[in-house]
Amino acid sequence: MIIKNLLNRSHHQPAHLLAGTENILRNPNALAVKRFQHDLVRQSNTGKVIHASGPSGRHSNRGLVATVFGSTGFLGRYVVHKLAKQGIQVVVPYRDEDSKRHLRVMGDLGQIVPLEFDLENDQSINECIRHSHVVYNLIGREHETKNYSFDRLFVEGATKITTAVKDHQIGRLIHVSHLNSSVDSLSKFYRAKAMGEKVVKEIFPDVTIVKPSIMFGQEDRFLNKMVTKPFTFKVNDLETRVRPVSVLDVAEAMQMMSTANSTIGKTFELFGPRTYTHEELFKVLEALTLKPLTPSFGLPLSIFKLINKLIDKLVWWPTLSEDEIVRRCIDDKQVISEGAFGFDHFGIEPDAIENIAISYLRYYRPAALFDTPIERGGLKTKPRSYHVIE
């Protein structure tokens, strides 16, 4: 239709205007494509030039390609969504065919690229990252399996991915650890996380380390488990102090890291605004779900660990493992470590459990009390903010 109108008008236009019309007729794409200086971005550490096009947001193309290992997990799905929403093409490595189906709709057509991979196959890892500008390593498990121990996942697996990133000269690597990771920890999980950090930094010094505390969200195994378990024993007399953080806030910060050169080589410790003991946490959940939850039956730690160790060996599905019992006795860090950064670097004010958990915990209420409002104590909804980092 546009070309037909141009042909009709060309009979009545001066000669000096027809040259531009003829150029458009020969190249119809000239009507839709126009590049500006800000569409070209140069990665400071690799020198690669990235070409952006289209409007901003989901329907644009930022020119960036990101690979998210662990994309089918809890944190991974939110990171994929945040990246695709910014017009970034996302490669999502997967093992099970059904585990990546929900990720396809998170981006525009062609922006979500599923690739089957095996952590033991170096060639499949290379295929997943060879076109990428930024790589996320979110691979992890809360419990060990017969095929994957914590060391095999967090140390050996991280080593393979980091080595591949270095060999392909990819500019950015963002590695997820844990707030309580320590080589001296009593927990195998925390020790393996700390060793993984050390190995990754030795291979790729410019790595960005992200250390979130325990995360809560729609599909978490934290609050949902506390609400749905038919019975729960007291562990450490419910005195362990935790700082839960919203998975949405962590994913938002990680999305911003993809283009922020100021985060290169830095460590970020991300935790929530409030500290709870487990007993206080049960009280909060009781107020949200309007049903009694706080456990009243306690066991000595040694007996509790023995019982769960036996159960874990007898059944094939994951249960409360012995190491998870140990982790439930370890307090979260209360202050940011020296040289590390927090949410304030991104201008993000993290949400507390009371602010947003009702959106999915409401479904655990009795039917008669489903719509009962919660008492917020005059607390106002957090306003949306806009923050730019270099």
Provide the pLDDT confidence category of residue 43 given band limits of 50, 70 and 90.
Answer: low
Domain count, the chain: 1
Domain presence at residue 194: yes
Give the model confidence (pLDDT) of 132-186 as tens digits.
999 999 999 888 888 889 999 999 999 999 999 999 999 999 999 999 999 999 9
Provide the pLDDT confidence category of residue 378 given band limits of 50, 70 and 90.
Answer: very low
Q: Residue 121: which residues within 8 A CB-CB, separation 6 or more?
A: none
> Which 3 state secondary structure label does DSSP give 374?
coil
Domain presence at residue 9: no
What pTM, to 2 d.p., does this model score? 0.85
In percent, how much of the chain has pLDDT > 90?
Answer: 59
Give the model confidence (pLDDT) of 161-175 as tens digits.
999 999 999 999 999
Domain presence at residue 86: yes
Give the model confidence (pLDDT) of 328-351 as tens digits.
999 999 999 999 999 999 999 999
**pLDDT at 322 (0 to 100):** 84
**pLDDT at 231 (0 to 100):** 62
Domain presence at residue 15: no
Domain presence at residue 173: yes
First to last CA, the chain: 44
262-294: burial string, b at 16+ Cβ within 10 Å, e else? ebbebbbbbbbbbebbbeebbebbeebbbeebe
Domain presence at residue 305: yes
Q: With contact defined as beta carbons under 8 Å apart, do 87 and 57 qualify? A: yes
What is the domain-level CATH number for residue 174? 3.40.50.720
**pLDDT at 151 (0 to 100):** 95
Domain presence at residue 325: yes
Here the contacts of 99-102 (C-beta below 8 Å, separation 24 or greater) are 99/72, 100/71, 100/72, 102/77
Average model confidence (pLDDT) for the chain?
85
**pLDDT at 339 (0 to 100):** 92
Instruction: Give the domain range for residue 292.
Output: 40-369
Task: Please determine, for residue 21, whether its predicted confidence score (pLDDT) is greater than 50.
Answer: no
